Amino acid sequence: MMFGVIITMHNKPKSGRLVELDYLRFFSVVMIILSHFFNGMKRKGIISDNFAEFSLGFLPLQYDPLNLLFNNLGLVGVSFFVILSGAGLYLSYNRDKSIIFKEWFKKRVIKIYPKYLVVFFGVIISYFVFVGSLNSLNLSWGEFIASIFAVQAYFGFGGGVVNEATWFIGLILALYVFFWFFKDLYDRADKKVIFISLFIVSVISKYVVYFFFGTRAAKFVFITSLFEFSFVVLMLRYFIIEHKRLRAMLLLFLLSVATSLLFSTELFKPMGFIVFSTTYFLFMFYLFSLISSFSSKLNLIASKLSTLSYSLFLVHGPLLGLIKIMGEPIFLYVLYFPIVFVSAVILDFFVDKIILNRIIRY
């Protein structure tokens, strides 16, 4: 099989953690933040609509893989997050297979909800401080209650008005439950059969959801993401030795050109996107595998940034919203990235070191 994941021993510490996934986790959240930032800049008129028209130069713009990547940074970044969530879940579960569902799911919830709720109520408070009320949010009681549990997307509210990007949390929770009840299948069944089956299920379900509910719904219906969620898990058994990295990267690049033709056409877009995003994921995995071999200090930085990724994801949207309700002064766009980074560090420290430590202590 041509697809494979490099697993080199110097990049695979005793804990089973793959350094490449650290790089990819931070890279994914950067793509999502850039996507929303560019949209905000376009809305303000600071940059033009064709700002992200990057091109390799040898294909029409609508079929160019580089242009498609830059114009779909947010979608590809979320797809990467889904892939990484499945990989992280599988690797962590393999370290302790004796854990029961209640304890396992509790750990997942503790990782997700405290930070989410701090940001959620932080946004509510900021509207009272800067606007004086929640009227401009148009937040209904139904959406408010659903949003507290991060399941607003399943009740027809999409991402919600408080923190639009958090529709992803409801998706991930559903995929977590799927993983627990089907985890043994990954190890016992023929991985090629699962690989093909999940690809077919994901593609068909995307078309069905697109047809009946529209493109928006296809993002958070978990069955459409099963292939991406299981992607690395299914790939872990395939090994490619180090000196073949560049050859594999070239093959993946050529494949990305081919799949861009699928992704850029309306008829094949659902199927094309799955192949497009997973191809880019593997390409970046190979690239970061090369980078990670140069410096252990760089890997340590990647690991630190990786642990910050979820907080960055949570705060970046509300901070853009805050810029908007403050009249979108240009200096705040200039300071946006350092503000996002500092806010994520504060959120991490506040929840992990103060709130969770006290809960564990008592």
pLDDT band per the 50, 70, 90 thresholds, residue 221: confident
Residue 119 has pLDDT above 90, yes or no: yes
Looking at residue 100, its pLDDT comes to 87
Q: Pick the more confident residue, 12 or 179.
A: 179
pLDDT in tens, 238-262: 544 344 555 666 666 666 666 666 6
Looking at residue 117, its pLDDT comes to 93
CB atoms within 10 A of CB 133: 8
Cα dihedral sign for 149, 152, 271, 289?
negative
Percent of the chain with pLDDT over 90: 24
Residue 82 has pLDDT above 80, yes or no: yes
SS3 content of the chain, % helix, strand, coil (to 5): 75, 0, 25
pLDDT in tens, 343-357: 999 999 999 888 877
**How far is the C-alpha of 147 from the C-alpha of 333, rounded, in Å?**
27
Burial level of 86, CB count in 10 A (0-12/13-18/19+)? buried
**How far is the C-alpha of 165 from the C-alpha of 142, rounded, in Å?**
18
Residue pair 80/281 in contact by the 8 Å Cβ criterion: yes
Buried b (16+ CB within 10 A) or exposed e, 106-128: eebeeebbbbbbbbbebbbebbe
Q: Pick the more confident residue, 68 or 294.
A: 294
**How far is the C-alpha of 191 from the C-alpha of 180, rounded, in Å?**
17
pTM: 0.85
Tell me what the mean pLDDT of segment 80-106 comes to. Answer: 87
Looking at residue 309, its pLDDT comes to 95
- Supply φ then ψ for residue 67, to 5 degrees: -65, -40
Least confident window among 17-31, 45-59, 305-319: 45-59
Looking at mean pLDDT, say which of 16-30, 183-197, 245-259 comes out highest: 16-30
Residue 133 has pLDDT above 80, yes or no: no
The H or E element spanning position 48 is none
**How far is the C-alpha of 355 from the C-alpha of 351, rounded, in Å?**
5
Helix (H, G, I), strand (E, B), or coil: what is residue 194? helix
Residue pair 287/314 in contact by the 8 Å Cβ criterion: no
Q: Which residues, other chains included, contact 37 with Cβ-Cβ below 8 Å and sequence gap of 6+?
A: 316, 320, 333, 336, 337
Looking at residue 239, its pLDDT comes to 43
Tell me what the mean pLDDT of segment 98-105 comes to. Answer: 87
Instruction: Please count the residues of the chain.
Output: 362
- Mean of the per-residue pLDDT values for the chain? 79
Looking at residue 183, its pLDDT comes to 84
Using alpha carbons, select from 74, 82, 59, 84 the residue that is nearest to residue 253: 59
pLDDT in tens, 32-54: 998 888 877 766 666 655 555 55
Residue 19 has pLDDT above 70, yes or no: yes
pLDDT band per the 50, 70, 90 thresholds, residue 2: very low
**How far is the C-alpha of 58 from the C-alpha of 37, rounded, in Å?**
28
Residue 88 has pLDDT above 70, yes or no: yes
